[in-house]
């Protein structure tokens, strides 16, 4: 079974995001970038499938600038076999990403596509669902657990009321949630081996996909600063304060 894993280069989740002074977007200058955390989980799950003898090959694909090669190398060091970089300096919206991935799927013919449920930079949570619609493949979103079942795949999903189990006929699309697994740290030998693994470079034009944005960002602002708290002497004073503020 071949597994395709899309990964995205985003601002590291430990970094405080700064808004540009003109409020046109987020400042990316001299900011640490890393793999989207949800995508790390999808890579880890693909590697575990391979270690269990379920998957035979893991192909990682990323859409972004030349530096996105580093993100692909991280996935290769975790255990993926080869990578594809669709090189572009433009900001690519979820629908264009899904269209590009659909073209990659047409070339690679994977049995399973595992994606993070969302990227932490735009929080769209759209690409996996759009890709499933474009390919007309079954999908299991917010995966909590994956299990191969003959020619099908059982996906335990996180839903508002608890957990839901669905059975997907392969090929299929799966988007992963936080609790699916704990991504591994790549060992030094695997990091060195990853440098020799193949990364093919393509362009959106080569796939015939128009990545022109359909949305315009009007303004980006930082969240409002939280006001300072107030200390009170006891519970009675707290209740009195809440009554005065109209909270009780």
Whether domain 2-245 has CATH 3.20.20.70: the reply is no
Looking at the predicted structure, is the pLDDT value of residue 242 above 90?
no
Pick from 78, 67, 94, 81: nearest CA to 42: 78
Q: What is the mean pLDDT of the chain?
A: 92
Read off the pTM.
0.86
Looking at the predicted structure, is the pLDDT value of residue 248 above 60?
no
Long-range contacts of 150-156, Cβ-Cβ distance < 8 Å, separation of 24 or more:
153/112
* For range 148-162, the mean pLDDT: 90
Can you give the pLDDT at residue 239?
Answer: 86
Pick from 162, 99, 163, 89: nearest CA to 126: 99
Coil, strand or helix at 85: strand
Looking at the predicted structure, is the pLDDT value of residue 99 above 60?
yes
User: Residue 237: pLDDT band by 50, 70, 90 thresholds?
Assistant: confident
* For range 158-171, the mean pLDDT: 92
User: Residue 25: pLDDT band by 50, 70, 90 thresholds?
Assistant: confident
Query: Where do the structural domains in the chain lie, given as residue ranges?
Result: 2-245
Looking at the predicted structure, is the pLDDT value of residue 247 above 80?
no
User: Residue 29: pLDDT band by 50, 70, 90 thresholds?
Assistant: confident
Question: Exposure pattern of 100-123 as b/e (b: 16+ CB <10 Å)?
Answer: bbbbbbeeeebbbbbbbbbbbbee
As a whole-number percent, the residues of the chain with pLDDT over 70 amount to 99
Can you give the pLDDT at residue 224?
Answer: 82
Can you give the pLDDT at residue 67?
Answer: 92
Looking at the predicted structure, is the pLDDT value of residue 221 above 80?
yes
Regarding predicted confidence, which is higher, 38 or 20?
38
- Retrieve residue 144's tokens: 């909590």
């Amino acid at each position: 079974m071949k597994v395709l894993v899309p990964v995205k280069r985003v601002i590291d989740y430990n970094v405080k995001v700064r808004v540009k002074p003109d409020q046109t977007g987020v400042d990316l200058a001299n900011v640490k970038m890393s793999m989207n955390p949800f995508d790390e989980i999808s890579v880890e799950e693909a590697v575990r499938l391979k270690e269990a003898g379920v998957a035979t090959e893991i192909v990682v694909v990323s859409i972004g600038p030349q530096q996105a090669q580093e993100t692909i190398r991280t996935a290769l060091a975790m255990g993926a076999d080869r990578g594809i970089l669709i090189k572009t300096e433009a900001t690519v919206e979820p629908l264009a990403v899904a269209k590009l991935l659909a073209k990659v799927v047409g070339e690679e013919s994977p049995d399973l596509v595992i994606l993070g449920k969302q990227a932490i930079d735009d929080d769209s949570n759209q690409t996996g669902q759009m890709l499933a619609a474009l390919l007309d493949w079954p999908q299991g979103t917010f995966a909590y657990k994956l299990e191969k079942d003959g020619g099908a795949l059982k996906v335990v999903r996180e839903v508002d009321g608890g957990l839901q189990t669905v059975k997907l006929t392969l090929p299929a699309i799966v988007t992963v949630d936080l609790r699916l697994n704990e991504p591994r740290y790549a060992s030094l030998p695997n990091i060195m081996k990853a440098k020799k693994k193949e990364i093919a470079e393509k362009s959106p034009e080569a796939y015939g996909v128009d990545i022109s944005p359909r949305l315009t960002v009007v303004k980006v602002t930082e969240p409002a600063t939280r006001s300072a708290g107030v200390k009170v002497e006891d519970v009675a004073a707290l209740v009195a304060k809440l009554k005065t503020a109209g909270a009780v």
